[in-house]
Amino acid sequence: MIEGAKWRRWVFFYIPLSAFVFTLLFPFYWMMVTAVRPDAELYRPWSAPNYAPFWTAHPTLDHITYLLQETLFSTWMLNTLFISIAATLISLFCGLLAGYALSRLKFRFAGMLGTAIFITYLVPQTLLFIPLADVVRNFHLGDTPWALILTYPTFLIPFCTWLLMGYFKAIPRELEECARIDGAARWQAMLYIIFPIAVPGILSAGIFAFTLSWNEFIYALVFLSSPAQKTVPVGVTSELIRGDVFYWGSLMAGALLGSIPVAFVYSFFVEHYVAGLTGAVKG
């Protein structure tokens, strides 16, 4: 908290904070307003006398109804959900084992391997999709959910591994040593002692992996082609922008509905992932 006179608190705390919150939330507000604005208002020229871009006097559910009834939006939602959950689970599983091994086991090249995994994370997706497209085609995975479930881990596993590695390193080694003396094999010590303590870290890795898969665009755009296979980000943008015509109302309705699951997941685990990111282990 800022100490001192009242004006200091306003200048250094409330005003910057409000500006920040406004900047962050305004796009969401714009999205919500556009989703419920009738077409007549949406396409009204800015010079019209009753032009009012920041609110609407006649809210409508037309765009949402159109989205759900006339497009494959619900299929896209299910596709995205399935792909995101599957990719997250695969990545978490691999990330847990790799993160544990890199942080705890002493073996040759452990440090180098950790760095190598990190470097793969640094390769931009916009380059990686070219060779991956070849791989996907060779395995005949194109236009199936597996094209994404198996390619998302290429960036999710390094991410999970590094996040969890840091988390495991913060857990005192003695806990595990004590468990091993108590009669647990290494895998039992890992399963019964380390993983339960690392739950906040595992949850935050999972949430981030889920969000990254949910929002992923390039791979989904390249590897999927038929409308029934698409994910929300690709489906909405490819089916609701026809040529140079933007169906703004339905687009924004799609964006709004598409962000609900992510918002839900975040709000549900908020305390855990904050603890996970700040790395607080209390012994």
Partner 1 sequence: MARVEIRNLNKTFDGVHAVKDVNLEINDKEFVVLVGPSGCGKTTTLRMVAGLESISSGEVLIGDKVVNELPPMDRDIAMVFQNYALYPHMNVYDNMAFGLKMRRFGRAEIDARVKAAAEILGIQAQLQRKPRQLSGGQRQRVALGRAIVRHPKVFLFDEPLSNLDAKLRVQMRVEIKKIHARLGTTAIYVTHDQVEAMTLGDRVVVMRDGVVQQVGEPLELYNAPANRFVAGFIGSPAMNFATVTIAADADGLLWANNEGIHIKLPAEVAGRLRKHVGESVTLGIRPEDLRAAASSDAADLAVDVIVEVVEKLGSEILLDVKVGPSTMVAAVEPTVRAKVHDQLRLALNPDRLYFFDGASQAAI
> Closest separation between CB of residue 283 and partner 1, Å?
5
> Closest separation between CB of residue 145 and partner 1, Å?
36
Task: Tell me whether residue 112 or residue 245 sits nearer to partner 1 (CB atom).
Answer: 112
Range 276-283 contact pairs with CB under 8 angstroms and sequence separation of 24 or more: 276/163, 276/167, 276/200, 276/201, 276/202, 276/203, 276/204, 276/205, 277/204, 279/166, 279/167, 279/170, 279/201, 280/200, 281/170, 281/171, 281/172, 281/197, 283/172, 283/175
Q: How many CA atoms lie within 13 A of 191 on its CB side?
A: 5
Task: Tell me whether residue 8 or residue 173 sits nearer to partner 1 (CB atom).
Answer: 173
> Closest separation between CB of residue 202 and partner 1, Å?
13
Task: Tell me whether residue 39 or residue 182 sits nearer to partner 1 (CB atom).
Answer: 182
> Closest separation between CB of residue 203 and partner 1, Å?
14
Dist CA 278 CA 281 (whole Å): 9
- Grouping H, G, I as helix, E, B as strand and the rest as coil, residue 242 is strand
Dist CA 148 CA 139 (whole Å): 13
> Closest separation between CB of residue 201 and partner 1, Å?
13
Q: What are the CA-CA distances from residue 269 to residues 9, 118, 197 (Å)?
A: 32, 26, 16
Task: Tell me whether residue 70 or residue 182 sits nearer to partner 1 (CB atom).
Answer: 182
Which residues in this chain contact partner 1 in the complex, by CB under 8 A? 172, 174-175, 177-185, 188, 192-193, 196-197, 281-283
Task: Tell me whether residue 18 or residue 188 sits nearer to partner 1 (CB atom).
Answer: 188
